[in-house]
């Protein structure tokens, strides 16, 4: 292990085998290594933004075993918002200071392509200063297949309609054997990476996620990180990496062993160590809980996402995130954990330090 620790201290790139062995380190050593990288990049700053999540429909043609959001036997309440309903939400959020609207939906094959794309243009026309983060690679793949369009064509339509950046959802775990079991029919790992590459080639930024704590192995997690690291070398378009903790309720995956807090923190720390070329590691409090996200600041994470206001996808599976979090409370929690809260925009430009 000494040679691996030395490579980390020298900021050298780790292999798949070396990355997997990092899990054998005690949590304090691992945290110290990750924290040194975090502080080298960001000091004691912890970033967040004032944002609103909107999930406009839960009707989905795909059935992922880990999903509790899409309308099915465990969630028998299908809905689809109208554009007027979405615009009303955006207006209220904008009046409360939201600077980003994060729009992610299910793969609804009943509403038509324009339902997906026209709302972005309507938001931009009415709220030109709002940053629109929308359409995961999984949604782009769905639209491509459903309407016989290439990835390039869908991406160009998104940009023309006012989308500013892409969220990182749909990545799950890149290992195809795992994907076959948990999200068969969804975008492939190669497709996910290709879509983000095409987005980056247009000079646009995106995030990347990894869903962990279900049936994947530690090796699968490291493989996932390395594939992202390799694409980042080529395109440089990832703003942040977001390790998402699997939520266990109301789905068909039936994972019996709950992932421990220590395993979550180790994975956060290893993310910071492995992904030397992705600038930000986000402890997404929605899936990790606020308390663990605050601790994760000591394990390589420098971003806590945002106020969110309302969130439906993870809260359907048991996350305590349905009504977001109050701004003042958020700021005070970061301060009380020994870090400096810095409000950022969606592209990590600093707006205000509290």
pLDDT of residue 321: 38
| Confidence grade of residue 76 (pLDDT, cut at 50, 70, 90) | confident
Of 90-104, 107-121, 270-284, 298-312, which range is least confident? 298-312
In a domain, 2, yes or no: no
Q: What is the mean pLDDT of the chain?
A: 91
pLDDT of residue 115: 94
What does the buried/exposed string (b/e) look like for 189-198 if buried means 16 or more CB atoms within 10 Å of the residue's CB? Answer: bebbbbbbeb
In a domain, 79, yes or no: yes
Residue in 327, 215, 203, 221 with CA at minimum distance from that of residue 266: 221
- Residue-wise pLDDT for 126-162, tens only, equals 999 999 999 999 999 999 999 999 999 999 999 999 9
In a domain, 13, yes or no: no
Distance of CA 171 to the CA centre of its chain: 9
Which long-range contacts link 253-257 to residues 24+ away (Cβ below 8 Å)? Answer: 253/65, 253/66, 253/182, 253/214, 253/215, 255/213, 255/214, 255/215
**Which residues form the domain of 200?**
26-353
pLDDT of residue 10: 96
In a domain, 6, yes or no: no
The total domain count for the chain is 1
- Residue-wise pLDDT for 193-203, tens only, equals 999 999 999 99
Can you give the CATH number for the domain in which 223 is found?
3.20.20.70
Q: Is the pLDDT score of 249 beyond 80?
A: no
Of 88-97, 190-199, 283-292, which range is least confident? 283-292
Between CA 16 and CA 222 the distance in angstroms is 6
Looking at residues 16-33, what average pLDDT do you find?
A: 98
Looking at residues 38-60, what average pLDDT do you find?
A: 94
- The model's pTM: 0.92
């Amino acid at each position: 292990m000494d040679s691996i620790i030395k490579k980390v201290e020298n900021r050298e790139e780790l292999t798949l085998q070396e990355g997997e062995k990092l899990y054998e380190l005690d949590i304090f050593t691992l945290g110290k290594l990750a924290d040194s990288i975090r502080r080298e990049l960001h000091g004691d700053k912890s970033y967040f933004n004032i944002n609103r999540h909107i999930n406009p429909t839960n009707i989905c043609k795909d059935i992922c075993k880990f999903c509790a959001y899409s309308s099915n036997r465990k969630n028998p309440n299908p809905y689809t918002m109208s554009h007027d309903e979405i615009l009303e939400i955006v207006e209220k959020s904008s009046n409360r200071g939201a600077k980003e609207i994060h729009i992610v939906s299910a793969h609804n094959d009943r509403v038509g392509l324009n339902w997906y794309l026209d709302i972005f243009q309507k938001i931009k026309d009415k709220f030109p200063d709002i940053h629109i983060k929308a359409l995961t690679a999984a949604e782009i793949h769905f639209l491509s297949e459903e309407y016989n369009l290439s990835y390039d064509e869908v991406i160009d339509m998104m940009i023309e309609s006012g989308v500013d950046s892409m969220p990182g959802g749909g990545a799950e775990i890149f290992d195809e054997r795992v994907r076959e079991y948990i999200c068969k029919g969804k975008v492939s790992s190669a497709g996910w990476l290709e879509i983000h590459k095409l987005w980056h080639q247009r000079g646009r930024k995106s995030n990347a996620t990894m869903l962990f704590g279900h049936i994947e192995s530690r090796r699968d997690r490291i493989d996932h990180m390395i594939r992202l690291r390799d694409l980042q070398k080529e395109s440089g378009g990832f703003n942040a990496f977001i390790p998402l903790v699997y939520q266990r309720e109301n789905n068909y995956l039936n994972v019996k062993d709950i992932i421990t807090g220590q395993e979550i923190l180790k994975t956060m720390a290893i993310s910071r160590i492995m992904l030397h070329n992705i600038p930000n590691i986000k402890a997404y409090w929605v899936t990790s809980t606020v308390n663990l996200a605050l601790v994760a600041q000591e394990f390589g994470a420098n971003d806590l996402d945002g106020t969110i206001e309302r969130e439906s996808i993870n809260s359907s599976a048991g996350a305590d995130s349905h009504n977001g979090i109050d701004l003042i409370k958020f700021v005070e929690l970061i301060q009380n954990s020994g870090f400096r809260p810095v409000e950022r925009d969606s592209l990590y430009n600093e707006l205000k330090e509290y």
